[in-house]
Amino acid sequence: MLIIGLSTIILFSIPRASEKPNVNEKRPYDRLFIWRIILVTLLLISSIIGICAYIKFQLLESIRPVISSLIQPNRKPFPMWTRRISLSHKKKKVYEINGSSEFKTKVIDGKGIVVVNFHADWCSSCIQLTSKLMELIEPMETLDLAIINLESNPDLVDILSVKAVPAVLAMSNGLVLDKFVGFQNAQMVEKFVEKLTANNSVHSKIDRNVSQFKDKE
């Protein structure tokens, strides 16, 4: 575009012939004038292309973060997980379990009823369910919430016969009092927690598997 502009300036600076044309003589179009028209046209076209390219670049830069967030898999914890970690440090009502030894110490040998929540990072319904369980359990004195990553604890998945996520088990003194598998709406989760606080739970067949933790003592 710079070359076209310089060429246009040079052509326009060349003076035209000073001789007077013969009116009666038919002359072809002035070639120099035609070249001026062509160069001006090219200059305008290149300017329009440059402006369009600049606008397109600015638009792409402005929407690039949005496109990246949609294309890239979302495996980072949601803000609610940050809230959970900070509150668990303060109240010790919500905590993560990593390994069978920690499960035995905090759940099997723990006091009171512990709601065990199996989740996976790729499971969006697990995150919603965990948030609801936190909301219900944190204010309570008799319930704790233990969060277990499905992929990081295959031994616990096998022992507790977890087949899918989300999976929630209520345990006390090494016994499974109640459980449910799959995402539940808010009303069902509230009823599940209320039933635990009312001590109306029934022992599960999974108790036989959990008993092996006590045999290791």
Catalytic residue positions? Answer: 123, 126
HEC profile of 117-132: EEECCCCHHHHHHHHH
Tokens standing for residue 129: 């369910």
List of E strands, the chain: 94-97, 113-119, 143-149, 167-172, 175-181
- Provide the residue type at 52 as one letter: C
Cα angle for residues 140, 169, 92 (degrees, 5° grid): 40
Query: What is the rounded CA–CA span in Å between residue 200 and residue 203?
Result: 10
Query: What is the rounded CA–CA span in Å between residue 146 and residue 100?
Result: 13
Query: What is the rounded CA–CA span in Å between residue 13 and residue 7?
Result: 10
Tokens standing for residue 53: 């390219």
Q: Which residues contact 30 (CB under 8 A, 6 or more apart)?
A: 16
